[in-house]
Amino acid sequence: MRYFIKALDTSGRVTLRRESVPAAVKKASELISDGCWNVEIETPGGVVYRPPEFERLRARVRGLFYLVRQTQTQLRYLRPTHDQLRRHYLLQGEN
């Protein structure tokens, strides 16, 4: 996924690209520290976050990762084991 960091500095408009939210937030914070203004992060979906919202963006991504991990764990428990599959096919062959 591509996150665009846009800002203004004394030479004009700066646009950078990062592949993850943590990297985008880090670079945006560095630009602010370097004296850039109008710093914003644009998500792949086109949503724009400004400095007060950076933490919300980071939390939102953490929440999505939690849901993915939780879903993967649930799927792991739903996935039949090799023995269960073998028993199933053996029983199917008897019918």
Q: DSSP per residue over 41-77, as a string?
A: EE-TTS-EE-GGGHHHHHHHHHHHHHHHHHHHHHHHH
Helix (H) or strand (E) holding 15: strand 12-18
pTM: 0.64
Average pLDDT (59-80) is: 60
Task: Check residue 1 and give its pLDDT.
Answer: 76
The answer to whether 48 touches 41, Cβ cutoff 8 Å, is yes
- The string of pLDDT tens digits covering residues 48-57 is 999 988 888 8
